[in-house]
Amino acid sequence: MALTPQTIQTAKNSQRKKKRVGRGNGSGRGTYSGRGLKGQRSRSGGKKGTKFLGFKSSLKKIPKLRGFKSPHAKKQTVTLKTLNRIVSSDDVITPQYLMKKGVVSNVRDGVKIVATGVIDKKVQIKGCLATKQALALIEKAGGSLIV
C-alpha cells in the first residue's frame, strides 16, 4: 500500500500538550514555575514581547543590501564544445535550432555562444550572440556569423 496523505494517520501522542506550570513541586515546574527567583522577568507581565530599541540601533542590526538585481534576464549560454557535438557541417544555427536539439530551454531571453572548447565544423550562426573569442574560433573553422 502506497503512503499517501490520506492513509497517514497521526499517532495518539503526536500533538505536544501545553506545559502546565505552577501546579506544585510534583509536576516538576512548581515553586518558581521555571521563572527563576527575583527580577522583572519573574513577575507576571514582566516578559513582554520584543523590545523596541531606538531606531538607529535597530537599523544597525539589519544587514546591508549590496548590489542590485538586474531587470534584464541573462542570455542562455552554449559552448563551442556543445555545438561541435550536436551540429554537422554547413548547418545554420539559430536559437530555435538549439531549442529543438534540447541545448537551450527557452529562446525568449536570447542565446550567447561562448568559447569553451573547440569547433572543427563549418557552421553559420544566425540570431545568436557570440563572444569575440568564440567568433574567432568559428571563423577559423570556416564558419561565419550572420547578422
For residue 128, the domain's CATH number is 3.100.10.10
pLDDT score of 108 more than 80: yes
Is residue 4 in a domain? no
Examine residue 21 and state whether it is found in any structural domain, yes or no: no
CA Rg value for the chain? 33
Domain that holds residue 121: 76-146
The cell numbers describing 7, all together, are 492513509
Mean pLDDT of all residues belonging to the chain: 84
Mean pLDDT throughout 101-127? Answer: 92
From CA 109, how far away is CA 83, in angstroms rounded?
19
Give me the pLDDT at residue 49, please. Answer: 62
Q: What pLDDT, on a 0 to 100 scale, did the predictor assign at position 40? A: 83
Specify if 70 maps to a domain. no
* Confidence (pTM): 0.53
pLDDT at 17: 81
pLDDT (0 to 100) of residue 132:
95
- What is the average per-residue pLDDT within 10-16? 68
Distance CA 102, CA 4 (A): 34
Does residue 112 lie in a domain region? yes
Give a yes or no: residue 93 inside a domain.
Answer: yes
> Residue 79: is its pLDDT beyond 90?
yes
Q: Is residue 94 part of a domain?
A: yes
Cα atoms in the Cβ-side hemisphere of radius 13 Å centred on 91: 18
Phi and psi at 136, nearest 5°, equal -65, -40
- As for how many domains the chain has, the answer is 1
Nearest to 75 by CA among 115, 116, 107, 117: 107
**125 in any annotated domain:** yes
- Which band of pLDDT confidence, cut at 50, 70 and 90, is reported for residue 3? low
61 has pLDDT over 80:
no
The stretch 59-70 carries a mean pLDDT of 82
Domain membership flag for residue 3: no
